[in-house]
Structure 1
Amino acid sequence: MTKTISDLSPKKILIRSTNWIGDAIMTTPAVRTIRENFPAAEITILAYPWVADIFKGCPHVDRVMLYEKKGRHKGLAGMWRLGRELAAQRFDMAILLQNAFSAALLALLAGIPVRAGYRRDGRGLLLTHGVSIRKSTRERHQVYYYQEMLKDLGLMCGPQELFLALPDAANNWARDFLAAKAKRVVVGLNPGAAYGPAKRWPAERYAGLAKRLAEELGATLLVFGTEADGEAAAEISAAAPGQVHDLTGKTSLAQAMALIGLCDAFVTNDSGLMHVAAAQKTPLVAIFGSTDAVATGPFAPKVEVVNKHLPCSPCMKTHCPQNDFACMLEIGVDEVYAATYKLLVSED
């Protein structure tokens, strides 16, 4: 069997989403490509609950199906249960944007006859249509990683542009929130980041930035993140009393994404919400240290990347091997303020 799927005419396609917010956002051009190549197919995307909101308003998919890995689909028994649920849907094709062996195994358990994706994680024999990663793809932005896979599977790729459509309820909520709370300039701050402290610019510097934005520009500051970022949010709030709204752990993902889309600027560490801002073309300042801005930086037009380019970075570690976090600590408040101000005053 050839690796090309372009000459097939599936009636029902299952897309296996990636597992994290940022990765899921970076797959949106690929999801659009799948829809454009199979316009008559019914497309379902299988996603973890914490990324499902990214696709609930997406016109390129017909349905979002939840993979409740921490609930009813937990463990091997849960995977078997999910496999049976998928089998009942009688999918013709599975396109696996997620790279794991388990994604291919699940498609096999579901009896999906066409299973396409990268030959990775030892799953090549489980795929009916597998492709290898090009060396050149490894050296480009991750958006191309997913699109190149589809190209090598024989599909015509659409625009290399992130896409995010949100439900009306979330957009309406965000507009009402800002109408009641915001004054003048609205700047979002995202002090958190998953995978350890090496990706996080210190909370006290976010606080210093908030103080300057509030005092010099009269800005309203919105602090985004999970409950785990509450301590950082409290420090930021204390620096600009009355002008900071702590939203950490207080919104749904859809509500947070809608608010980010309405910000005049967004200052963030390398994180999932950084990609949310990029997808909505919100002007953003992205602070990089331990990770690779070429591979996973914001894929958007109005971006200021602040990065010291130290010899030790990007180390891709969760904790600083030198234990001094120099790549973050050498970035001062003045530098980030200047980058933010530049975006706020620049004209399109």
Structure 2
Amino acid sequence: MRHSIIDLHPQRILIRSTNWIGDAIITTPAVRTIRRNFPNAKISILALPWVADVFAASPHVDEVILYQKKKEHSGMAGMWKLAGLLAEQRFDLAILLQNAISAAILTKLAGIPARAGYTTDGRALLLTNGVKLRREVKKIHQVNYYQEMLRGLGLVCGSNELFLQLPEPDIAWARAQAGGLGPGPLVGLNPGAAYGPAKRWPAGYFKQLATLLRRELRATMVVFGTGADAEAAREIEQGAPGHVVDLAGKTSLAQAMAMIGVCDVFVTNDSGLMHVGAALKTPLVAIFGSTNSITTGPYSDNAVIIQKNLPCRPCYKTTCETGFRCMLEITPQEVFAVVRKILVGAPTSQVR
């Protein structure tokens, strides 16, 4: 690193967001750190459309710029077009939370004079202010990953607490939806995970859990996810007919996030929506299979992680070829017992 970016006194800052919902949520403490170190700067964040709602109502950014990577900004021609649009805004500084070399190329093409970030992915020569990624940072929660980068750039880092502010119309919509569902606890179920099937607790287990929740606790369930989770949602509905609301693929991200915020408990795979629940402080039951709960678990004091200590995990594989024990050994009865304890206020271990 040549010097602290504080010494640059930037007036117009571009943040390149990460590309996935969970990663974007994990960067929210870093975005807050940037705002607090540059309280008078205009801060814009460049984000893909499916994560833009994470920052739409954030007081820490002044503008969300959409990176339409699958439309007008696709390919090299699209990147040149986007670079031209960014150049018109005359940014003084780009802070690259996304690690890809493409982020450094784009901001170089945009003529942004100061470009800061980790020197990973072969982009050291494209950065004016680079930070070397220390090995020990990879072993702790990823919230620290982005904060440590900013610390390396000379910023004073604030709290690691996740931050998510939602638009008032979406909050009002979620409250109205919840208010029309009748008495009893409202339990969110999230059977999806974009990473691959190795992160997905079986839909049949979610179905059995729905049956237990309705029979024992008179709960109403809301199923979250994308259109890709429609089949799983239909199977879950069979576990408690008439008492499961299928929202998979039927809401905006902001509406889904607001709905998670009104749930009494949220049962979820390791996914982007899991991190949403953590940021909103919704009581969570997070089910982990192939991934590492230490580095990517819900960053929340209001979460219980259920996982099996097997010699093969975390394997980080997208699919399992050795029996899927890490997920199959987590029973619906085990998850139900944790949900019950949360709802009645009984003490629970944060990792089971």
d(CA) in 2 for partners of 1:341, 1:61: 39
**2:281 equivalent to 1:281:** yes
Paired residue type of 1:341: R
Q: SS of the residue aligned with 2:180?
A: helix
Correspondence for 1:95: 95
Paired residue type of 1:334: Q
Deviation (angstroms), 1:182: 4.0
Correspondence for 1:303: 303
d(CA) in 1 for partners of 2:167, 2:23: 20
Q: SS of the residue aligned with 1:312?
A: coil
Moved more, 21-30 or 211-220: 211-220
Correspondence for 1:59: 59
1:238-278 alpha-carbon deviations (Å, 9 max, x no partner): 11011100000100000000000111000000000000000
Deviation (angstroms), 1:195: 1.9
d(CA) in 1 for partners of 2:59, 2:343: 31
d(CA) in 2 for partners of 1:210, 1:37: 46
Moved more, 87-96 or 332-341: 332-341
d(CA) in 2 for partners of 1:258, 1:112: 36
TM-score after normalising by structure 2: 0.97
Deviation (angstroms), 1:183: 2.5
Q: SS of the residue aligned with 1:6?
A: helix
Paired residue type of 1:227: G
Paired residue type of 1:331: I
d(CA) in 1 for partners of 2:309, 2:16: 35
Residue pairs, 1:253-292, within 5 angstroms: 253-292=253-292
Correspondence for 1:326: 325
Residue pairs, 1:114-263, within 5 angstroms: 114-263=114-263
Q: SS of the residue aligned with 2:173?
A: helix
d(CA) in 1 for partners of 2:104, 2:92: 14
Deviation (angstroms), 1:339: 1.3
Deviation (angstroms), 1:3: 3.9
Deviation (angstroms), 1:134: 1.5
Deviation (angstroms), 1:341: 1.3
d(CA) in 1 for partners of 2:183, 2:129: 54
Deviation (angstroms), 1:347: 6.7
CA contact (8 A) 1:5 1:129 kept: yes
Paired residue type of 1:336: V
Q: SS of the residue aligned with 1:241?
A: coil
d(CA) in 1 for partners of 2:309, 2:109: 46
Deviation (angstroms), 1:302: 1.1
Deviation (angstroms), 1:7: 1.8
d(CA) in 2 for partners of 1:28, 1:343: 27
d(CA) in 1 for partners of 2:328, 2:150: 40
Correspondence for 2:336: 337
d(CA) in 2 for partners of 1:234, 1:74: 35
Give % identity.
63
Q: Which runs of 5+ in 2 are unaligned?
A: 348-352
Q: SS of the residue aligned with 1:181?
A: coil
Deviation (angstroms), 1:321: 3.6
Paired residue type of 1:41: A
**How many residue pairs end up in the alignment?**
347
CA contact (8 A) 1:3 1:130 kept: no
Q: SS of the residue aligned with 2:7?
A: coil
d(CA) in 1 for partners of 2:165, 2:111: 31
CA contact (8 A) 1:302 1:343 kept: no
Correspondence for 2:350: none
d(CA) in 2 for partners of 1:63, 1:164: 16
CA contact (8 A) 1:18 1:97 kept: yes
Correspondence for 2:10: 10
Paired residue type of 2:116: A
d(CA) in 1 for partners of 2:284, 2:15: 30
TM-score after normalising by structure 1: 0.98
CA contact (8 A) 1:187 1:265 kept: yes
d(CA) in 2 for partners of 1:250, 1:141: 32
Structural RMSD (CA):
1.0
d(CA) in 2 for partners of 1:292, 1:176: 36
Correspondence for 1:39: 39
